[in-house]
């Protein structure tokens, strides 16, 4: 039984897991949907009341009935590298390729990390906040609005605010990054009317926490805020290197809430971001259903790639 990994070739984080699987003799088929059609081929037939399908890439051929799990890591857009005559044809080919690949895979008994339906829902940050609240994780006061007056009222109640992207994406034209940033007192909120804006009460943090959940396993790491850190540097992804990530235990209540979150979200993998306040409380910021883990493993030595490999190596549900 084979582990199917959907990711791009440059994904060296996926390599950490592929190497683990290789070491334990678990067959792997790695492909990038961007290479379908072309480098990746598929075929499936529904006859006599049954289904037979196969995938191939680079001379490897796997029957879809022989898949034990599918890891959706960093897949390219289906057909992205296919030659096509026009943009509309390209868009259509992408949809055709996406439906063919993911549609066939959805019909297999393979276990997913993560299932596309669960992943699509889990990407919605407002839904993440809702689910975190419902499962008992502390959530900073947050407002998502297009109403300038609502923003002003919120700023009166919570004067120390940050602004962040609602979607977690970054503008591409031109390419820009939108780090979580502090909002200065007296800021004019008129531009909130131009698009949904997420404002959040800033938690004065003494550390960032990255909790990586793999199945039932929780591996948490903590990065202390330096005493001389710039208080305006709130987004750890964009902060200067500072202290390394270090392993940290997960408080029992947090662990229970995270398990409930994963159950309800139907996620096999999640990278949770928290900030720890002066009282030691972990405040939920977000859960990235395909968040990076390599940097944490490299700093802490935590066996995240091994945990993922072990989860993927379990046999498919029957």
Q: Which residues bind another protein (CB under 8 A)?
A: 9-10, 12-13, 15-16, 18-19, 22, 28-30, 57-58, 74, 76, 123, 163-165, 167-172, 174-179, 181, 189-195, 197-198, 236-238, 271, 288-295, 297-298
Distance from C-alpha of 6 to C-alpha of 19, rounded to nearest angstrom: 15
Distance, CA of 244 to chain centre: 22
Contact 94, 79 (CB under 8 A): yes
Residue count of the chain, please give it: 318
Q: How far is the CB of 195 from another protein (least distance, A)?
A: 4
Distance from C-alpha of 244 to C-alpha of 231, rounded to nearest angstrom: 18
Q: How far is the CB of 269 from another protein (least distance, A)?
A: 10
Q: How far is the CB of 316 from another protein (least distance, A)?
A: 20
Buried-exposed string 81-94: b where 16+ CB fall within 10 A, e elsewhere: bbeeeeeeebeebb
Nearer to another protein, 239 or 260 (CB): 239
Nearer to another protein, 150 or 256 (CB): 150
Distances (CA, A) of 240 to 13, 199, 221, 230, 272: 22, 24, 18, 10, 21
Nearer to another protein, 93 or 161 (CB): 161
Q: How far is the CB of 14 from another protein (least distance, A)?
A: 8
Nearer to another protein, 175 or 186 (CB): 175
End-to-end CA distance of the chain: 13
Nearer to another protein, 74 or 217 (CB): 74
Distance from C-alpha of 223 to C-alpha of 236, rounded to nearest angstrom: 9
Distance from C-alpha of 271 to C-alpha of 288, rounded to nearest angstrom: 5
The burial of 137, by beta-carbon neighbours within 10 Å (0-12 exposed, 13-18 middle, 19 or more buried), is given as: buried
Q: How far is the CB of 54 from another protein (least distance, A)?
A: 18
Structure tokens at 160: 């120390």
What φ, ψ does residue 300 adopt, rounded to 5°?
A: -100, -20
Contact 223, 242 (CB under 8 A): yes
Nearest-5° Cα angle at 237, 113 to 183: 120
Q: How far is the CB of 19 from another protein (least distance, A)?
A: 6
Q: How far is the CB of 194 from another protein (least distance, A)?
A: 5
Q: How far is the CB of 318 from another protein (least distance, A)?
A: 27
Nearer to another protein, 54 or 181 (CB): 181
Q: How far is the CB of 177 from another protein (least distance, A)?
A: 5
Nearer to another protein, 111 or 164 (CB): 164
Nearer to another protein, 182 or 256 (CB): 182
Contact 299, 221 (CB under 8 A): yes
Nearer to another protein, 58 or 107 (CB): 58
Distance from C-alpha of 242 to C-alpha of 236, rounded to nearest angstrom: 10
């Amino acid at each position: 039984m084979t582990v199917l990994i959907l990711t791009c070739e440059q994904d060296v984080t996926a390599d950490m897991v592929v190497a683990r699987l290789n070491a334990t003799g678990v067959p792997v088929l790695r492909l990038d949907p961007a290479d379908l059609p072309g480098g990746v081929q598929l075929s499936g037939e529904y006859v006599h009341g049954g289904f037979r399908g196969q995938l191939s890439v680079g001379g490897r051929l796997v029957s879809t009935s022989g898949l034990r799990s599918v890891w959706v890591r960093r897949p390219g857009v289906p057909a992205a590298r296919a030659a096509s005559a026009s943009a509309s044809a390209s868009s259509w080919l992408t949809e055709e390729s996406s439906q063919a690949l993911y549609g066939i895979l959805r019909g297999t008994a393979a276990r997913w990390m993560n299932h596309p339906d669960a992943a699509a829902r889990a990407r919605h940050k407002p839904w993440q906040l809702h689910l975190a609240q419902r499962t008992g994780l502390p959530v900073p006061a947050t407002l998502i609005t297009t109403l300038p007056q609502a923003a002003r009222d919120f700023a009166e109640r919570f004067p120390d605010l940050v602004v962040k992207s609602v979607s977690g994406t970054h503008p591409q034209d031109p390419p820009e990054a939108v780090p979580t940033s502090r909002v200065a007192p007296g800021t004019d909120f008129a531009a909130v009317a131009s698009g949904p804006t997420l404002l959040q009460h800033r938690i004065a943090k003494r550390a960032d926490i990255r909790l990586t959940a793999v199945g039932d396993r929780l591996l948490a790491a903590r990065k202390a805020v330096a005493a001389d850190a710039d208080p305006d540097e709130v987004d750890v992804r964009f902060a200067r290197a500072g202290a390394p990530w270090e392993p940290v235990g997960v408080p029992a209540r947090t662990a229970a809430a995270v398990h409930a979150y994963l159950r309800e979200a139907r996620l096999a993998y999640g990278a949770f971001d928290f900030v720890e306040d002066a009282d030691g409380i972990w405040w939920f910021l977000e859960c990235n259903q395909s968040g990076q883990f390599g940097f944490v493993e490299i700093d802490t030595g935590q066996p995240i790639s091994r945990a993922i490999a072990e989860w993927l190596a379990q046999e498919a549900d029957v």
